[in-house]
Structure 1
Amino acid sequence: MPESKRRSQRVWSAEAASGLPVYDLLGQERQAHDALNLLNQSRRLWSQMVAGCFSRLFNGLSCQMDYAPFHIRMLSEVAEQRHLVWVQALNQRGHQAWLSIQAGQLYRLAILFFGGSPLQQDQAVTARTATETEQRLLLRLAQHQIDILSDFLGEPDDRWQLTLVGSEALPLQSAWLCSEGTLLLGEHDSQFSIWWPFGAKEPLALDGPAPVRVGEQLCAALPAVPVRLRVILSEFTLSLGELQQLQAGDLLPLEMAEPAPALVGHQSCFTGRLAERNGALVYQVASLTPARRETRNDD
């Protein structure tokens, strides 16, 4: 469809409208973008700090930790994966973070923790329940990672309480900032997945029921919504015949409105007058519109 015809349409079909960009009214995309930048800027130093903690935890064993760049992902993408052990982290503000690892990899980490060496057949150990010893080890590994990340994000007092949970406890309708971390202990590697909330706000809901406090979110987001302000300095009326007879070089008398209204859309917001400041022409706000004053007086 030609662009000119597309713009002249008053009603768009659902198929055509599906390709239109969505305005980020609540600022969720900006929030996610800022959080991603902050996390990815600190992930290398975070990796080094975590590696140092893990090296001491595993009795000085050669240790390297590498986190991939954070990206936006939903827990529903991995909720049905078998043999994952999940840790839920909850802080005093009610925000959540998540960490997961394969049960077989946790088993091998437990062997390394006690100074053993995993055998080749240990690589196939997946369909088993983590023992209490393995669960305690996982909670320590997760606590180190989450606490160090909180410190890097400027939230050192934001302590997290960790619990092992099943996949049925995962919030499937929300998106998170996700990174895959690879832990290399000697010749053995293990992979963690960490799921981090969007900063100080709740995780981004991509579908499902609307947030309960959507009104509060809208009120908080409204001051950042851009609007187009029009200042009307002069208006006059011409007949169609006069309009047709206009030629280049003709002069139209301008009668400056005093005070001149300023509009957002068709709504008058305030009035003002032309003034000069530092050799430049400026618009000086004089007063609120009469309609707004009357509304205030009626209140």
Structure 2
Amino acid sequence: MESRVNETLPDIKPLDVELLGRPIHIIREKLENLISESCISLSNELQNWLSTNKIEAKLNSVELHRFSPTQMNKDQTSTYQHLEKGMVFIHGDSRVLIKLADRFYGATTERSSTTLTASDMRLQERIGRIITNWLAPQEMWQSCAYETPHGIGLHAELSIAFEDFQGSIHLKLDSHLIQTLIEQLELQSDVDLYQPFCRSLESTPVRLNVVLSKKNMALSDVIGLKPNDILPIELLNTVPVSIGNQSLFTGRIAEQDGQLVLIFNPDKESQR
């Protein structure tokens, strides 16, 4: 058994080192404005394709996004590669693609299945070419095979309202494309980020763990413990100090002004 004394800290947000020093939030805000303003062009195209004015595309959100291997179905995702670097992944909800495709191809009956066909995917490809053209000129893009993205990216969700139906189309940018956009928009700072990075790292709250006492007990004795039981313990002569699983150094317990204090040993042997 171990008794641990933990420093009391407010809620700590995890430090995402992948984003430190990158103006990814500026890109997110620019994309939010760009896509929001460009949705009118997608609305107009859809209205022309479907011969109706009862359809509207608008932006719901643009958010930071952490990719995982199972987030997207590669067979239902349209993938585009930027000639410089980076990829865009576009996929619509099955129901919205089926609804649009049935109207586009003049289907006489409404499908009940949610399985996408080649015709549905061709329509998604046409929509994808319109959307990617918002980010960079058409000649900068080429369709490519799906590759599982990793790390941090951006996720934009578009809402498609069609008569009494509403669905979503999703646009996801991988980290390589974000870096390309940062370079093209000249958002990369020429200022040395080393010192700001150090200050940011030094001000990050961490939880300091100190083991004051250890006691070995038989499992039967542990099971027999009840509330208000008294467990005799002894303070350790050498107290280990750590952050998470990383050992830092050792210390010793002393008394100062009627309080127990921890004095760090100067050798820091655990760091070797």
CA distance in 2, matches of 1:176, 1:94: 14
- 1:144 deviates by 0.8
What's the counterpart of residue 174 of structure 1? Answer: 151
* CA apart distance, 1:138: 1.5
The reply on whether 1:33 has 2:25 as its aligned counterpart is: yes
**Alignment correspondent of 2:173:** 196
Structure 1 vs Structure 2: percent identity of aligned residues?
11
Amino acid at match of 1:137: L
Residues 28, 116 of structure 1: alpha-carbon distance in 2 compared, 3 angstrom cutoff: farther
2:98 to 78, 100, 107: 107
Partner of 2:46: 54
Q: CA RMSD in A?
A: 3.7
Cα deviation code 1:192-241 (max 9, x no counterpart): 111024555169xxxxxxxxxxxxxxxx988223379xxxxxxxxxxxxx
Per-residue deviation, 1:130: 1.6
**Structure-2 residue corresponding to 1:79:** 71
Which residues of 2 match residues 140-219 of structure 1 at below 5 A?
A: 140-148=126-134, 150=135, 155-156=136-137, 159-163=140-144, 165=146, 169-171=147-149, 173-198=150-175, 200-201=178-179
Quickly say closer, same or farther: Cα 1:53–1:181, change in 2 above 3 A.
same
1:96 alignment partner in structure 2? 87
Residues 114 and 23 of structure 1, relative CA distance in 2, 3 Å threshold = closer
Q: Secondary structure at the match of 1:79?
A: coil
Q: Distance in 1 between matches of 2:170 and 2:13?
A: 33
Q: Which has the higher contact order (CA 8 A, sep 6+)?
A: 2
* Of 136, 140, 150, the match for 2:122: 136
Whether the 8 Å contact between 2:47 and 2:53 is mirrored in structure 1 is yes
Separation in 1 of the partners of 2:62 and 2:104? 28
Structure 1 segments unaligned to the other structure (5+ residues): 7-15, 204-219, 229-299
Matched residue SS, 1:201: helix
Q: State the aligned residue count.
A: 184
The 1:54/1:159 distance shift into structure 2, 3 A limit, reads farther
Q: Distance in 2 between matches of 1:195 and 1:43?
A: 13
Distance 1:113 1:20 in 2: 47
SS across alignment from 2:84: coil
- Asked if the contact 1:84–1:102 (Cα under 8 Å) also holds between the matched residues in 2, the reply is no
Q: Who is 1:225 aligned against?
A: 194
Structure-1-length-normalised TM-score: 0.51
Decide whether aligned partners of structure 1 residues 56 and 23 sit closer, same or farther in structure 2, where only a CA change above 3 A counts. closer
TM-score by length of 2: 0.55
The 2-side partners of 1:104 and 1:188 are apart by: 9
CA distance in 1, matches of 2:145, 2:53: 26
Letter in 2 for 1:170: T
In structure 1, the residue matched to 2:56 is 64
The 1:29/1:111 distance shift into structure 2, 3 A limit, reads farther
Deviation at 1:29, TM superposition (A): 5.8
